Structure formats: C-alpha cells, structure tokens
Structure 1
C-alpha cells in the first residue's frame, strides 16, 4: 500500500490511499486506465475546442485515478531508465575479456603474416607517478604485440617519474623516451617523436589515461580490413578517482558537420604516419587543439570512407581530482579558443565562407555561421492544408511577421477545405503578392502528390516543405537553414521543432529505431543539451522531418520528389532524405532554426482501421525497400538503444565478436 501525496489525498479525500500493486497487477484495471489516458490525450489534442470537456474529465473520480496512475508509471519509468543505463552492469555483461577470447585473439594474431606496426605517443604531464605507470602498463598489456611506445617527457621531469621512465625503457625495447626541451611546445615535441616513429600509424595517449587491452588489436584489424584508411577513431569513456569506468561517449560514424562543432574524433585517435608528415605534423600556434587541427587537415586530404570509426570503447580518460577532465578553467577556455582557431583555419583552407563561434547552449563546442550571398536564393514555402483555419493562420502569420530572409514566397495547397472560416482566410490572402493559393478538391489526401504538384509548378531555387501546424520561433530560421543548404554536398536541411510544452519534438531522425525510425532526444526539455551536446549542435542525420525541410529544387526533382504511390502519408520525407543520401548528399539538422510543432492536428492520429492499415503498409514498404529496421544508422552507434530515443545503452550492443 502506497499513500498518495497531499495533492492526491485532497483529490481522493483525507486519509484515503491507492493500492499501487492492485493497479499495476490488475490487467483489466490497467486497460481501463490506459483507455481513459488516451481519451484525455485526444482531448488535449483538440484543447481549443474541448476545454470544458477536458476539465470535466479531469475532475471525475476516474480522471483523478488516471492522474495518479500516470505518476506511478513515471516513477517506474524513471527506475527502469536508471537500471538500463547502468554502465557498470553493461560493462560486466558485454565488455569482459574472457580467458578463452584472450587465447583466441592471440592465436589469431599469430596467424597474420603482415601486421602493421603502431606507434603510441604518450605525452607526459604533471599527473601522479601512479597514473603514469597505469598508462604505460595499459600499453604493455595490449594483446596486439606490434607496437612501440614513445614517452614525450620534460627535461626537468620529477626524479621519481624520471626513474620510472628509465626503468620502462630498460625493460622493454619497444619503449623509447624523447626529452622535450623546456622551450618546446607540446606540438614541437610531438613532431620530434613523429619524425622518429617507425609505425605505419601512430596513436595518441595522454599520461594518466589508459587504453583497453584490445585497443591496438581492433585498430590493426580495421587497418587490415581497410588498407586505405588514413584516420581511425574509437569510442571512449572516463576513469574516476576509484579507477571506475564512467561517462561512455558512444560516437557516430564520421559526421563532418558535427566534427566542425566538436572534436568527435577525440580518443582513441590513430593517424597514418606518412600523411601526418606530409601535412606538416602538429602546429605550434594551435597548442591545446593541435590534435583537432591535425584531424581537420587529415579530413581535407582523405575521402570519407578513409576515416574509420571503431564503435568500441578503447580509450579511458582520467578525470582529475576536481571531477573534471580538464585541470583548470583557464585550460578549458584556452583549448576552446584554440579549437575555434583550428576550425576557422580549416574553413579558410577549404574556401567555405563562414564564421565560427562558441555554441550558445554548449559553449565548449562550436557553432558555424554560413554566409548567405548578397542576392539570396529564392525559396518557395509549400504548405498543404485542409480547414483548421486557426492553425494555418498561426503558421502563415508567424512566417510573415518573423522571417528575416528577404527572398521567399508561400504556396498554400488547399486540399478541399469546407469550413467557412478557412475559406474566408484563404480569400483574405488571395491578393497578397507573397502568397500563392492552389485549390485541389479532386485529390484524396496524398501528402506526396500535393507537394510534388506544387514543386513542379514552382520556379524557386529552393523548396521548403512545411506543415500547417508549424509556428516560427527564431526570425533567422530560413537564413540558418539556407546557410547549410547552399553548401556543396548538402541534400535536405531540417529544423529544431518543439512541442508547445517546450519539449523537443524533432532533433534529427534515426533509422532502425522502433523497427522503423525515431526522433533523437524526443521530449527532452528545453535547456537540456542532450547526449554530449547532440541536442544543440549542427550535425548530419540520415533523415530530417518534412514538417520543415529545406531542399534545392533541382535535387528534389533529381530524386523524383516524394513517393506518391507507396508513401502517401508517412515516411515520404524519410525516403526523400534516404534517396538524397544514396546520391552522396548529406542531410543536416540545425538547432538554430526553431519552431513550435502542433503535430499532425489537421489529419489526426492513426485511430481508425483504415489509417492503421495504411500506416502498416507504409512501414512495411520502408522496411522491405530501405531496410530501416535492419541497417545501421551511421549517425548513431550500435552500443546505443534502438528501443529508446534517449541515447541510452543497448542491451545487448549490436556488434559482433564481443
């Protein structure tokens, strides 16, 4: 028996209480409560029409029970989320190196005729001697034996550290020491080690940090599997003061737009030695972000497929005693300034007209502002609608009142509106030169066909697909989206959409989730940066929602637009993005074009047998044609869940030979 809080007591009467176990174990009662919950949700969706009915339902005894039932469900969900994200349990289950696997790997390595030599550069800092020893021991513990370790040390290193280093060098011929002169920067010392390195590839290791026993084995495997690889990186986590592994960072495959915002390559980073020498090695003026800068210059020389992501935690970064990875605030800001400079140099080298600044919601990362031409491309904002004058009015007036972009028009496709207030509103806009109205009474609702017809009749350079339930928030939304859309290699650009209650509705679409697709960070509250900042940083996703989607009209026509046959209602925007991706184009999501999305109120929910049947057919088409229920999404990570959109752990991970 669990007594309700004071509010619940006031609802049910003083001294009364609910039997939680009775509610959660009784299937019939749960079904009744769920049905009432759905009813309340439906009323919420039509709140503007049914405020009095909604109020009456909330005040009935069953309404009060439903509210308490939702509290119980939320508590259970919170507890379940904590359990499913217990990294320690996950490691013990999926990251144990058994003796059998150890022997198998050693035997496998012995059969390889050619194995790449990997140099490890370990930069010594002022951490404790015990941390130094742990770093060296983690290299010596590698199952892959073909490595060399170069310790880059200060000339005036502490006596104990000097003694330990000398001992390491004397006891293992694979370990060497390079003395960093006091006048040398870390980049200059690293370049000296680079010149002496004998490895085909080199990895970077900070003293105090450690690498997984299989780190170099997995690197070598990837190199042998992809001989053209030039840059490799892995997932990483942190070591707390008790040597406990915490804070796993499971990264996407290489994501250029995210890479400009944060050094997602991070650790473990492995570079091709010859290319590092050709590109000039580490740059002294970028100390603090020298590794980031080198990775940016590698990107400029490599094809995307030559940058390899190993989706395994191979690097463990030591957290300082203060509880942070960086030692001081000065170091953090210093590294950030160097990172901004590194990205700025990259933009200039590649001829991209843009500026870089601190990301407003995640200041340790970057925001890219692309320059719009003096004569901006024309944009046709296409909005299909039927009745729901109040929604359409909010949408159109918010565009007209807030949009600062000065070369756009609006096309409204009226798909058989009958309500007089809608007809009056459309008549009112008929003489507005900024608005074109297309009447289509003959076509049954087919979202794809309605949009395709409008695009074919448009002469604009770019098309912006928009739902009639969108409400603009940021005045520069179209400038921001256009900045991305005009970049070479970009397909579709999507916006950040919020529910009216200020929780996240769209921050990029992940394929393979829920046997179909899912929205990253869905229902995250405003102000939450998401998983390592991914809810507030510009980045590539496999798809973005068509509720607000900007695309070059030529690209739209080149991939035959939206699918009018198999995808009349849902997934047509997803397939459009996948077709663009198949052509080698990137689909970008930006958090700096923000809108409210009063989701699908015109058409409503899939609450009839006909709608449910159609939804099932469209999902089956996407699964059979595009394999969205099976294929790995490169914007995601196989160690993260596909049954939840909150970037929680996957049980088990979707990678083999663990």
Structure 2
C-alpha cells in the first residue's frame, strides 16, 4: 500500500499523546494506532474521490512508558491489514534532545507561592445589603461518602455569609450506614435541607435529577458530596445577580484540596471562551444556573455519566449567552484517590462521555465536525471544510528573499487543501517567481485594502514574515474555523528553533503580554492553552486567517504604525463580536524570533476611544501577573 507520513510528533512524557497526519491509497478504509496489546485509536478514512485519502489524528498513548513501540496500521475494505509505519518512542532521548534553556516560567503549581497569594489577596470583603435576594437551591447527589467529607461539605453550606438557600440532596441508595446517619442528622438539624432517599442506585445523572425535582429556588447550584464552598460563595453569586438580574449562568474560579486539607492548583479562569470550552469543561465549579432554564432543557441526561455536567452546560449555552464569570476562588474540589480531580484518566469513561456530549451539541447545531480526544478530558474540535472556498495567502514581502518565497510556495503545495494561491505585495524593483506580485502604491495598508475588495477569494491568510507550515493540514484546519460565521481571526502556534515565539497575547496595562514565553513545541501550556484551542483578543500577527467578508467589513487602518496594524485589526474584529481563535494544532515555523509587546500611543488612543479595555483582558485572569505570564499576581 502506498502511503506518506507527513507529521509524527509525540507530546508529553508521563502522559504522551500522538499527532499523526499523512495519506494512504484510496482503498484504505481504516487507520489504527496500536501496539502488541491494544488498539489506541481507530479512524475511519472517508474517500473524497481522489487516488489517495488523507488522515489527521490525535490520540493518547500508553502512560508512564520510558520506551515503547507503536504500529500505524491501514486496513482496506476487504479486511486486509498492513503496517505502514512504526513509531519508536524513547522518553530519555526526548529529554536529552530538549534544549536546556527552555524552561517553564509558570509558578501556579508552587504550593508555597499559592499560599502566599492567598494571604495577600483573599481578605474578607465588606458585605453590602442586597436588594435582590434570590433563593439558591444546592443540589447534591450522595453515594456512600465518608462522614467527615459529607460533614465538611454541608457545614460549608450552612456557614455561608448569604443564608437564603436550600439544600436538595438525593441519596443514590447508599449502603454505608455512616452516610445515611449523617444525612438524617443534618436533615433534622436544618429545615432547609431536603433529602430524597432513592430506593435503587441510578448513578449520578438520575440522582442529580432526583435532587433537581425538589428544587424550589430561583437558581440551582451544583456541588459534589465531598467538596467545600468558600464562606462567601453564595454571596458573590447573589451580588453578581444584583448587578444584572438577567444572568442565566454564573461560574467562578476554583482550587483543589489535598488529603491534608491544603489548598493547591488554583484554576484562574478566563471569562466565557466558547472554543476553550469546546476543548474542556473549564467552567466546572462553582456555578449557578437559572432553575427555569435547567428544567427547560430537561436536567441531566442519562448516558453521559462522567461528563454529565459538561453535557448539561453545552445544552445550556445553546439556550443563552447571558453567562458571567466571577474571578474569585469560591470552591474547593477535594482530591481523593480515583476521583476525576486526581486524574481524569482514572475515569476514562468521562473522556468518552465528554466526546459524546460534544458530538451531540454540534449535531444539534447542524455543524459538521470531527471530535478527537486529545488527552484525558481534553478535546479537539475540527470543523469539516464545506465546499471549495478559495484561499489567498497575502504576503507582506518586504523582508522576503527569493529563497524565503520559494519555501512558502513549497509548503503551500504540500498542504492537503489545494485551492490556494499566493499574492505577494512587493516594493519597487522586487519580484518573485511562482506567485502573483502586486506593487505597493501609496502604502501597504491601502494597497491591501483595495486588493481585498476586488479579490474573488473567500478567505485570506496574512503572512508577514518568512514561514513554513509544519503540518500538512494547517490551512484545512484554519479554513474549517474561518468558515464559521461567528469566528474572526484564526491563528496558529509560531515556532522558532522549537520554541514558541508566537501564539496569543493579553492586552493589559496598555501593553501586549505574550502568554507563552519559554514554551517549547511539545508543551501543553498553562491551563492547556497550547494543547487545545483557546480564545484571545489578539493573536500572533505573523500568520493568521480571516474571511474576506470580515476583512472588507472592518479593513486595515492605515493611520497606525505598521507594527500595530494587524493587532488593531484583531481587536476591531473582537469588538465586533467575533471570536478570535488560537489553534495549537496548527504549527508554523519561522526564521525570526522577535516578540512584540510595546504598543504605539496612536493605537492606544484609538482603542480607548473605542471603549476597548486596555487595562484588563477578558481571557487572562486578574489574579495573574501583568508582567510575567501565568504567574501569581503580587
């Protein structure tokens, strides 16, 4: 069988996962990743009428293996199998080859640093009187939980500074007498605690629905039977609703508790970011949802156990966009052996259920996607390209040599998506072979704006420095996203000598903060920002895609310094309610290593006049440093 492997990379060491792409003869029906003991991934290959069929897959591999061998196997329609490629993985070799100068700069896993942050930042706020005092109904499914954990959970609720609540507990036929006795004790102790004792064990979705059936409050809050609320958790939710009573879904930050009750691993979340949410359920805890909305969607669905919250939230965001984030740690997720907080892989069914929930969500939206489990409960949503939209690569060629342009031409020819042409905007006396050259007249910006209006292409890729694509499906992945009506800028991970030098920025304190300093190409990124898609206001400007419709709607601003033009374009697109998306699966190689952070005053004045917040960024937590990305704020 004829084949070609275009990309084969293994990311991670203790928890490795594979990125593999290539093509095989059109009679290939399936591709497998397997070793002698098990199949890790099976993918059906869909024929497109060509002599070959391409594949691009991502899959977790065997864990904690220092050395391992995997076979890539193709199977034809008659069931004949052939090993087309052998992958030999060696952790020690990978470590040896890694550049020692590339280090992680985040300190968010440093327990002592977190304790210091807590002491500095978590002081008790003065509570104001609230005009609107909604009733919160906390629903808790319970099953055989140890008394000490259940007591801690219920006491954390009863000790809330905001007392207008009820607790709706569904015991899922516990057999542990200690659990049952504790429930009866608290039921007798507090009239706000209502308990349904289920006669049969129905698992977490059925139990949660039994609790939901008892709800009388205006808002539902979800909690696990061994976790703990901060004393101000319900007050903060009520305060947010006093600022905006139309909110339907509110979520907060969270951290974890170890077996000794020590807090660690804070999850400082962004404001709602749809594409990040499609990649993982980062909303998680603590959250409240309008009761009428919960009941409208039918509560929790049976068959999605392990990802029942994720499925619920996906169905909620289909119904509302009134979502609000409170950037405070209000919930402590207890880390017990075997829980998903300890390791999502201890419940592999959670990853499978999460994928099922995503597939259902996009089917309801009538959007054709391929959902891959990237790692544990992290997913990559690939939008399947519709039609044959023309792509034009618009190159600012002022710093390009002939060799640079030849490499760009070659890398575009290798792409799986073929309806691509290259347009080079050139200076006087500058020309290149195999591309269309457009002389710059008054300025680069005015020439590009004029060209985009007349172009027959549907999507543009702006290239502002010499690049090549590392993966052969880069343009196909970007186009799938760019074809979505609500998506604006689509960018990738830009690499220089295996180090990430371009991805996304936070606009804070009137400057751009690069979010992934010193990351190497195999890093997952803090909060998985280099593992799964994420949202940002500003992306790296060396290579990105935008639809023609959006470019012609917003246009490049020639009144700004050239270095800020594309950053301004990204911000304007975001301000017009489009989502800008970073795709780490798209890897772009460059031969320059500059990182831009300073912004010209003219740009800042324009953004302030547009009422764009230049001090805080919705996709970068205010709990984090404004100087050193993804470290604790002083």
TM-score bin, normalised by smaller chain? 0.7 to 0.9
Query: Is residue 95 from structure 1 mapped to residue 122 from structure 2 by the alignment?
Result: yes
Bigger-Rg structure (1/2)? 1
- Which residue pairs with 2:242 in the alignment? 224
In the alignment, the residues of structure 2 paired with residue 617 and residue 174 of structure 1 have an alpha-carbon distance, to the nearest angstrom, of 57
TM-score, length of structure 2 as denominator length: 0.79
Residues 59-96 of structure 1 show CA distances to partners (whole Å, capped at 9, x for unaligned) of xxxxxxxxxxxx9x999x97999989811001011113
Partner of 2:83: none
Query: Is residue 535 of structure 1 aligned with residue 535 of structure 2?
Result: no
Distance 1:82 1:125, change over 3 A: closer
- Unpaired runs of 5+ in structure 1? 1-70, 607-611, 652-658
1:571 is paired with a residue of what secondary structure?
A: helix
Q: Please give the secondary structure, in 1, of the residue aligned with 2:303.
A: helix
2:516 counterpart SS class: coil
Q: Distance in 2 between matches of 1:91 and 1:479?
A: 45
Deviations 1:380-406 (A, max 9, x none): 101121364155235423433422211
Alpha-carbon separation, structure 2, partners of 1:126 and 1:365: 29
| Residue 626 (structure 2) aligned to one of 627, 642, 647 | 642
Give the 3-state SS of the residue equivalent to 2:182 in structure 1: helix
**1:337 corresponds to which residue?**
352
Q: How many residues get paired?
A: 535
- State the superposition RMSD in angstroms: 2.8
In structure 2, the partner of 1:273 is 291
Q: Distance in 1 between matches of 2:131 and 2:557?
A: 51
Alignment match, 2:616: 632
Q: 1:369 to 1:322 in 2, by over 3 A?
A: closer
Contact 1:253 1:309 in 2 (8 A): yes
Q: Is the 8 A contact 1:262 1:365 kept in 2?
A: yes
Corresponding position of 1:512: 508
Structure 1 contact 190–282 (Cα < 8 Å) conserved: yes
- Aligned pairs (5 A) from 1:29-178: 86-97=113-124, 101=125, 104-105=126-127, 108-109=128-129, 112-178=130-196
Aligned position for 2:22: none
Shift of 1:125: 3.7
Question: Is contact 2:534-2:583 (8 Å) kept?
Answer: yes
2:565 equivalent in structure 1 = 572
| 196 and 632 in structure 1: CA distance in 2 versus 1, 3 angstrom threshold | same
From the two aligned structures, give the one with the greater strand fraction.
2
Contact 2:279 2:380 in 1 (8 A): yes
Partners of 1:299 and 1:413 lie apart in 2 by 43
Return closer, same or farther for 1:522/1:633 CA change in 2, 3 Å cut-off.
same
Summarize deviations over 1:111-138 as a string: whole Å, max 9, x none.
Answer: x454100011122244422111111111
For the pair 1:366 / 2:363, whether they are aligned, the reply is: no
Structure with a larger share of its residues in helix: 1
Match of 1:526 among 503, 521, 525: 521
Alignment partner, residue 318 of structure 1: 334
Aligned pair partner of 1:547 in 528, 533, 542: 542
Deviation at 1:252, TM superposition (A): 0.8
Question: Does 2:316 match 1:298?
Answer: yes
Contact kept? 1:84, 1:648, Cα under 8 Å? no
TM-score (structure 1 length as normaliser): 0.76
Change (3 A) 1:579 1:146: same
Cα 1:489/1:643, change in 2 over 3 Å: same
Residue 620 of structure 1 and its aligned partner are, at CA, apart by 4.5
Give the equivalent residue in structure 2 for 1:377: 389
Question: Quick check: 1:641–1:649 contact (8 Å CA) kept in 2?
Answer: yes
Partner of 2:426: 414
Partner of 1:346: 361
What is the CA deviation profile of residues 582-607 of structure 1, one whole-angstrom value per residue up to 9, with x for unaligned ones? 22211111112211122378xx999x
**Given the superposition, is the C-alpha separation of residues 323 and 279 from structure 1 closer, same or farther in structure 2, using an over 3 Å criterion?**
closer
Question: Conserved in 2, the CA contact under 8 Å of 1:530 and 1:536?
Answer: yes
The structure-2 alpha-carbon separation of the partners of 1:391 and 1:315, relative to structure 1 and needing over 3 Å to count, comes to farther
Answer whether contact 1:386 1:416 (CA < 8 A) is retained: no
Question: Is this contact kept in 2: 1:239–1:245, CA < 8 A?
Answer: yes
Equivalent residue in structure 2 for 1:583, among 563, 576, 582: 576
Task: Tell me the distance in 1 between the aligned counterparts of 2:338 and 2:158.
Answer: 29
**Range with bigger deviation, 622-631 or 83-92:** 622-631
Within 5 Å, which residues of 2 pair with 1:228-247?
Answer: 228-247=246-265
Contact 1:387 1:417 in 2 (8 A): no
In 1, the alpha carbon distance for the partners of 2:372 and 2:276 equals: 14
CA distance in 1: counterparts of 2:349 and 2:459, whole angstroms: 40
1:563 aligns to 2:563 (yes or no)? no
4+ residue stretches of structure 1 with deviation over 3 A?
Answer: 77-85, 321-324, 326-330, 615-631
Matched, 1:493 2:490: yes
Structure 2 distance, partners of 1:355, 1:328, is: 22
Residues 181/570 of structure 1: CA separation in 2 closer, same or farther (3 Å cut) = farther
Say which of 395, 411, 414 aligns to 1:402. Answer: 414
In the aligned structure 2, how far is the partner of 1:131 from the partner of 1:82? 24
Q: Quote the Cα distance in structure 1 between the aligned partners of 2:165 and 2:106.
A: 45
Cα deviation 1:392-422 (Å, max 9, x = unaligned): 235423433422211111001112356xxxx
Q: Which stretches in structure 2 are left out of the alignment for 5+ residues?
A: 1-99
Contact 1:395 1:472 in 2 (8 A): no
Q: Is the 8 A contact 1:336 1:364 kept in 2?
A: yes
Contact kept in structure 2, 1:540 and 1:586, CA below 8 Å: yes
Distance (Å, rounded) in 2 between the aligned partners of 1:493 and 1:538: 10
Q: 1:597 to 1:181 in 2, by over 3 A?
A: farther
Q: Could you say which residue in structure 2 is the equivalent of 1:592?
A: 585
> Which digits, 9 at most, give the CA deviation of each residue in 1:205-264, with x for residues without a partner?
112110110000001111222111111111110001111110000111111111111112
Aligned-residue offset at 1:346 = 0.4
1:478: Cα distance to partner?
0.6
Match of 1:357 among 360, 367, 372: 372
Structure 1 CA distance for aligned equivalents of residues 301 and 613 of structure 2: 44
